[in-house]
């Protein structure tokens, strides 16, 4: 309980320090075996090298928090820091390199600490807490997480699970960005910061953070996220074992076939599904960025419209004041000058929407 209270009271300006402190404490208690340690190369040395992932990183810079002031300027300070951080990690971790989703994780870190500190925290997340597993080419860890989430829904929200099944909505359609970006691409930064803070104690339990409540309306399906504090560690481990057992059984059934063609077909289908999943994730990120951009443009247009309405109202009031002043002046004019004044009044009162013949 005290850990939760401490995290809730951490001001925004101190989050980075607290996250780094929690990382140090975790490393003291859970030392990684040497074979799982990241290569011992400094951040500055990595920045001097070239990466084959440069194009992919540059493409994603504009899609990462596109409306946030720090990252919105093309090749501004925020985007350059993000590029440096992603480039350095892609060179450090040859197996993972760069994968869509990492940019959002790196972006959240850069909002709370310097580049070098963010690099150390990214290494901590990836290696010490094991998140690099979900970015590997086979994405086995991500598939396990999808299975775990599906089983959680089946066991704890049966009506929701049945509803999703009836509508053919699998976790891969909506939850992939949650896991690959640690919720950063879909949720407000305040919520994401809370997630990062809680992960200081249990970052490996990403399925513990969210459960979906879904309802139907006439226009489709709307998702709402609820955060719950349940100790589901045992269930998650059981689901992971269950997933591996099912995969082993599937592999045994395939091996029973004399002909190797079914295995090749399954591999092709699996690779195709992985590619589809990544394509959908990319389209989702582009659409999300487009929505944020349109919302920002709409807000600007509405602000201009309100200013124009205020200006028009001010001009109308000024016109009425001039009319009253002119009427007062006419009272003191000689009779022979009234005809000219009447003509002037007609011009002042002229309304293009109400012409007189």
CATH number of the domain at 70, please: 1.10.8.270
C-alpha count within 13 angstroms, C-beta hemisphere, residue 321:
6
C-alpha count within 13 angstroms, C-beta hemisphere, residue 201:
13
pLDDT of residue 287: 74
- Would 82 be classed as within a structural domain? yes
Place of tokens 């389209």: 283
What residues contact 57, with CB distance under 8 A and at least 6 apart?
Answer: 51, 83, 86, 87, 90, 98, 103
Q: In terms of residues, how long is the chain?
A: 357
pLDDT digits (tens, 9 = 90+) for 111-142: 999 999 999 999 999 999 889 988 988 888 88
Run of H or E residues at 229? none
- Would 44 be classed as within a structural domain? yes
Provide the strand spans (E) within 110-219: 211-217
- Range ranked top by mean pLDDT from 4-13, 49-58, 203-212: 49-58
Contacts 24+ apart (CB under 8 A), 265-268: none
What residues contact 229, with CB distance under 8 A and at least 6 apart?
Answer: 208
d(CA 142, CA 147): 9
Tokens of 208: 């513990």
Contacts 24+ apart (CB under 8 A), 28-33: 30/128, 32/127, 32/128
103 and 64 in contact (C-beta within 8 Å)? Answer: yes
- Range ranked top by mean pLDDT from 166-175, 264-273, 285-294: 166-175
d(CA 207, CA 215): 21
- Would 165 be classed as within a structural domain? no
Overall domain count for the chain: 1
Q: Phi/psi class of residue 351: alpha, beta or left (left: φ > 0; alpha: ψ in -120 to 50)? A: beta
pLDDT digits (tens, 9 = 90+) for 153-168: 888 888 888 888 888 8
Q: In terms of pLDDT, which residue wins out, 102 or 334?
A: 102
Q: In terms of pLDDT, which residue wins out, 217 or 49?
A: 49
- 3-class SS at 331? coil
Across 202-231, average pLDDT: 41
pLDDT at 188 over 90: no
- Partners of 225 in the β-ladder: 212
What residues contact 330, with CB distance under 8 A and at least 6 apart?
Answer: 338, 341, 345
Confidence of residue 257 (pLDDT cuts 50, 70, 90): low
pLDDT of residue 82: 96
pLDDT of residue 342: 66
- Would 236 be classed as within a structural domain? no
Rounded to the nearest 10°, the torsion over CA 62, 289, 119, 69 is 80
What are the DSSP calls for 37-80, one per residue?
SPP---HHHHHTS--TTHHHHHHHHTTSSTTSHHHHSTTSHHHH
Tokens of 214: 């879904």
Parent domain of 112: 1-137
- Partners of 222 in the β-ladder: 215
Angle, CA of 350, 356 and 357, to the nearest 5°: 140
- Would 74 be classed as within a structural domain? yes
> Whose CA is closest to 119, among 144, 99, 141, 92?
92
- Would 354 be classed as within a structural domain? no
Confidence of residue 201 (pLDDT cuts 50, 70, 90): very low
pLDDT of residue 204: 40
Least reliable range by pLDDT among 35-39, 280-284, 299-303: 280-284
H helices then E strands: how many in the chain?
16, 2
14 and 193 in contact (C-beta within 8 Å)? Answer: no
Across 43-71, average pLDDT: 92
* Mean per-residue pLDDT of the chain: 77
Q: In terms of pLDDT, which residue wins out, 238 or 44?
A: 44
Run of H or E residues at 95? none
pLDDT of residue 214: 37
pLDDT of residue 325: 84
């Amino acid at each position: 309980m005290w850990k939760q209270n401490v995290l809730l009271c951490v001001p925004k300006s101190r989050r980075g320090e607290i996250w780094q402190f929690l990382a140090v404490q975790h490393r003291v208690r859970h030392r990684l075996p040497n074979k799982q340690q990241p290569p011992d190369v400094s951040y500055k040395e990595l920045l001097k090298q070239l990466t084959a992932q440069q194009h992919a990183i540059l493409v994603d810079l504009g899609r990462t928090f596109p409306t946030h002031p720090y990252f919105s300027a093309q090749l501004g300070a925020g985007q350059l820091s993000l590029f440096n951080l992603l480039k350095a990690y892609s060179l450090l971790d040859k197996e993972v390199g760069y994968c869509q989703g990492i940019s959002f994780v790196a972006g959240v870190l850069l909002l709370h600490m310097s580049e070098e500190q963010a690099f150390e925290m990214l290494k901590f997340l990836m290696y010490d807490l094991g998140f690099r597993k979900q970015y590997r080419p086979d994405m086995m860890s991500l598939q396990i997480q999808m299975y775990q989430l599906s089983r959680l829904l089946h066991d704890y929200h049966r009506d929701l699970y049945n509803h999703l099944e009836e509508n053919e909505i699998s976790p891969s359609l909506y939850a992939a960005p949650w896991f690959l970006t640690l919720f950063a691409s879909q949720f407000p930064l305040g919520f994401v910061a809370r997630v990062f803070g809680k992960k200081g104690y249990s970052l490996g339990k990403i399925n513990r953070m969210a459960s979906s409540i879904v309802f139907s309306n006439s226009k489709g399906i709307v998702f709402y996220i609820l955060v719950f504090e349940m100790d589901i560690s045992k269930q998650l481990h059981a689901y992971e074992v269950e997933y591996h057992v099912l995969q082993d059984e599937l592999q045994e059934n395939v091996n029973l076939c004399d002909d190797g063609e079914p295995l090749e077909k399954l591999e092709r289908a699996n690779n195709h599904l992985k590619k589809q999943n990544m394509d959908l994730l990319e389209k989702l990120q582009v659409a999300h960025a487009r929505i944020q951009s349109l919302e920002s443009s709409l807000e600007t247009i509405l602000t201009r419209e309100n200013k124009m309405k205020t200006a028009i109202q001010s001009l109308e009031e000024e016109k009425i004041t001039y009319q009253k002043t002119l009427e007062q002046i006419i009272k003191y004019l000689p009779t022979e000058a009234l005809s000219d004044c009447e003509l002037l009044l007609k011009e002042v009162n002229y309304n293009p929407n109400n012409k007189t013949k």
